A and B are shown apart, each in its own frame.
Chain A
Amino acid sequence: MTKEEYNNICDKVMPKESHLKRYVISFFIGGLMGFVAELLTNIFINYFYLSYNDSISLMLIIVIFITSILTGLGVFDNLVEICGAGLFIPITGFAHSTTSSALEYRKEGFIFGIGSNIFKLSGSVILYAVVSSFFFGLIRYLLLEI
């Protein structure tokens, strides 16, 4: 039996996942996150008289705080299982993966446990944000600033 024949058999057997339901859920949950962000920001601007940038920062801090606590309580992983991209594309995904790594490696000590592994999953986000910004920034600097 060749690889192709085997793959054909498997393709017939493997279950079809319902994509549409996932698309609807992640659009709706993602949208909800955007809505909440806008709501919080507006509250901070209108009732606490903060500047736009400060309100955004405070909003991010609150969202990250809630995500971390829910991850610690063991609720957030079940939510991500259902909502998918709706929860890992907003900043919640970054906070969730960082917190789950920290919780995981807590037993291995503060320095070589949490310290070494806290960015195990989310470190790549920072890496590629910096590297891509460096190259795209160079392009922009050369094209637009000079």
Chain B
Amino acid sequence: MSYIYSFIFAGVVCLIAEIILNNTNLKPGHIICLFVIFGSMLDTFKIYDFFQDNFGAGTSIVITSFGHLIMHGAFLGVKQSGFIGFLNGFFNYTTVGISATIVFAFITSILFKAKN
């Protein structure tokens, strides 16, 4: 069942992005940023947590989870050391995505050549 929920959640998020892309002048870059902001906005009232609990890993693979994870990291910091931990904890959870991307991008750029 969780497979179907994951499928539908990720599919719907991509569908919304595609609809925005086709009906406005926004470029993919704009839409990704919009969705990241949207993700952290949804997490303000813990709505994204609700998605994550019910819809499985499909919620983690879409870019909206980026904003959500930063919020989570921040509040983990708050839990540990109060308000100072707020800024300190931003990258508690997101580091895996960012560092994996940096490392693999760097290695790829050394191993491969741009083709066309």
Contacts and interface: CB of A to CB of B under 8 A. Distances in A.
Direct contact of A and B (CB under 8 A): yes
Interface of A: 17, 19, 22-23, 26-42, 53, 56-57, 59-61, 63-65, 67-69, 71-74, 84-86, 88-91, 93-95, 97-104, 106, 114, 118, 121-122, 124-126, 128-130, 132-134, 136-137, 139-141, 145
Nearest to B23: A19
Given A93-B63, A102-B109, A136-B41, A34 B33 contact: no
Tell me if B's interface is mostly helix, strand, loop or mixed: helix
Q: Which of A35, A71, A134 has the most CB of B within 10 A?
A: A35
Contacts of B114: 74, 100, 103-104, 106
Given A72-B111, A130-B70, A57 B96 contact: yes
A95 B109 CA distance: 12
A60 B17 contact: no
Contacts, number: 253
B74 A137 contact: yes
Contacts of A94: 32, 63, 66, 97, 101
Contacts of B44: 136-137, 139-140
Nearest to A115: B106
A37 B8 contact: no
Contact of B86 (A129, A130, A137): A137
B108 A31 contact: no
Contacts of A63: 61
B105 A56 contact: no
Interface in B15-36: 15, 17-19, 21-23, 28-29, 31-33, 35-36
A141 B78 contact: yes
Nearest to A73: B112
In this complex, the interface size class of chain B, counting residues with CB under 8 Å from chain A, is: 35 or more
Contacts of A31: 6-8, 10-11, 14, 58
Contacts of B113: 103
B40 A132 contact: yes
A37 B57 contact: yes
A30 B111 contact: no
Contacts of A35: 3, 6-7, 10, 58
A23 B11 contact: no
Given A94-B32, A129-B94, A136-B43, A60 B61 contact: yes
B28 A141 contact: no
B3 A38 contact: yes
